[in-house]
Amino acid sequence: MAKTVALLLGVHAHQPVGNFESVLDDAHQRCYGPFIRVLHEYPDFHFAIHLSGWLLEYMLKHFAEDMALLREMVERGQAELFGAGFTEPVLASIPSVDRVGQINTLSKYLKQELGQQPVGAWLTERVWESSVVPALADAGIRYVTVDDYHFMCSGKESSVLNGFYTTEEDGRKVDLFPISEALRYRLPFSPAHEVVGYLESLAQEDGQAAAVYFDDIEKFGIWPETYQWVYERGWLRQFIEGVLNSDIIKPMRYADYHQQSRTKGVVYLPTTSYIEMNEWTLPAAAAHEYADLVSRERDGHRYEQTKPYVRGGIWRNFFMRYPESNWMHKRMLELSKRYHALPKAKQTAAMLHALYEAQANDAYWHGLFGGLYLPHLRRAIYQAIIRLEALLDEVEARPQQQILDIDLDGHDELFLHNGSLQAIILLDGSAAIAELDSYQHKHNFADSLTRQAEHYHRKVHAAQAPAHSGEGIGNPHDHMTSKHEISPEDLATDSRRRALFNDSWVDGGGNHHPLHYGRDDHGGPDCEFATILPSQSSALLRKRYSLDKQRLSVSYSLANEQVSDGYLRVEINLAMPSCDGPAGRFRQGDHIPGGFGQPLNQDNLDKIILEDEVLGGAVELKTSIPCQFSSAPHLSVSQSEAGFEKIMQAVTLTLQWPVSALSQEVVVTLKFS
């Protein structure tokens, strides 16, 4: 029998829930559209494609002609549709009932719109935990793709990873295809004829050998240099024609290969994701150690043998690394529990839609990709959370005050809400607001990000890697560029969580002392705290929160007026959707003193308005006693495929009063309109 190899080529298309329409349009123009149109010209080139539900909805609405071509390719047996969760959640991170629901929702949508019920599934970020097997099987999924690295971590040799294996959990089974790392790093970066030659080298005489590829379609046009390489210089056509002209390579759908072949045996995979993700999940210090270890293994020419055992962290570590990610996740879990506890008659499609959007993966993590650092992606998660919470409250009212440890950090949080606003106050001694929701705006005004050290920060001022040489183009994983000029000051980290109403006492020597409050509450509609001022054993400062319709009031009163000097300093990290864009500005009467991205300082300020066209409203800040006011953008430094960049997370408002002003009660009011 002549040697052959089945080419199982799959591409994954996804855009985060909440991404800008301009980004989606550009992605279609440079990648999704041209890829579909080129493939349509080659009916004998069989392939698989996964489109996340949110992206598919957009493409069907805005690019109907290209979607009609895809449907035609499905109907003629050229294209196979892969399923997944509708909003692209990491399945392992959401409740089992939502795993099944998310998969079924996308499968039904694919059948309805493109004419095929999937039996294969894309595993978001290739995050594997065996606990997802029952949900996959119960949702009708027969096979999924994960990295060959997953198999190597279980002791498999790469030479046997040319078919599919079977795993089981809780009496249900699913088959696993190992995605070839060698192909992931060749397509589409190496010249087409080299890739074709490599594929031919994988052929075997038994007719069972498969070359498995499934990766981001964005590599074919959106990643740096790829549009010119793949389409203008003709890489994609050269590759397809090279495959079709080969007597050895047989492009196939996964479904056809799966039907004609048998499993290569049972396998049990450890909890892991792709190699790069395992580094990204680690805190900076641990990531340094991990990267240095990998470097030593590479330098010693041992890494290809030891990489399955030189493993980093797991995807869930992001909840440990980033309090903001953990907070969103635990809020989502609590609301999922509330939704599923409702009688079926009270559950609505709008509730389920909001729940699924709150589970979209992108804003929960960060690496070279991932969107935790992107405010508009976190905002989309909070919009869904707030929308769902409002719908649940309509059918099952909550108490106006609740105490929970929502984020499982060992400290309780106090939930205050009045149907219009919700303030979640940290009972960890800071008495700061971790979440401030306006149900009218569907926005969390405390949605900021605390600056912490990142592993890649040590690369910001490192020498540039040598440019790619030879044929082909470079891989973005190897690029090290910078979108913005980054100074050492930009890499500063925060000593405490970015929140609203973080309080400090500034003594006569200019030293800042964070205030630590205890509860001083009498069970009424207000929430009170108290602290002894530093070095002032008899000076009791009281702090009280109250909500009234669209107004949050925070009052400070000093019980002992014998304090000689010092200042009360209040920091408010306010998340405004326009960030440093032109749609956000300060206003005082007819005067506009500047935008949110500009520093602003004023003495004796008692009122200022923050207008935001993206929000569709404004925030009015008032103080009962004039304060020394300053404002500055809160910026973080992160990396993306485009390089190192500075992103505005919030506008930091600082209010300060001398002790002499505290002889009266100071009231700070935020009114949302």
CA pair distance 181, 213, nearest whole angstrom: 8
Cα-based angle 143, 144, 145 (whole degrees, multiple of 5): 135
Name the band, by pLDDT with cuts 50, 70 and 90, for residue 368: confident
Q: Which range is least confidently modeled, 63-77, 153-167, 279-293, 631-645?
A: 631-645
User: In this structure, which amino acid lies at residue 263?
Assistant: T
Residue with tokens 């509730």: 351
Q: Quick one: pLDDT band at residue 524, thresholds 50, 70, 90?
A: low
pLDDT band at 445 (very low <50, low <70, confident <90, very high): very high
- For the segment 97-147, what is each residue's pLDDT rounded down to a tens digit? 999 999 999 999 999 999 999 999 999 999 999 999 999 999 999 999 999
Least confident segment among 436-445, 470-479, 593-602: 470-479
In terms of C-beta distances under 8 Å and separation of at least 24 residues, what long-range contacts does 558-561 make, across chains too? Answer: 558/659, 558/662, 558/663, 560/536, 561/662, 561/663
Joined tokens for residue 131: 């606990």
Q: With bands split at pLDDT 50, 70 and 90, how would you rate the model's confidence at 619?
A: very high
Mean pLDDT, the chain, whole residue set: 93
Q: What mean pLDDT do residues 205-233 have?
A: 94
Strand 143-147 versus strand 120-122 pairing type: parallel
Neighbours of 640 (CB within 10 A): 18
Residues annotated as catalytic are 125, 216
pLDDT value at position 2? 85
- Residue 424 confidence (pLDDT) above 60: yes
* Candidate ranges 235-239, 300-304, 530-534; pick with highest mean pLDDT: 235-239
How many whole angstroms separate alpha carbon 546 and alpha carbon 235?
63
- Lowest-pLDDT choice from 51-60, 272-281, 529-538: 529-538
Q: How many Cβ atoms from other residues are within 10 Å of residue 230's Cβ?
A: 29
pLDDT at 464 over 70: no
Mean pLDDT calculated for residue range 427-435: 97
Give the model's pLDDT for residue 463. 47
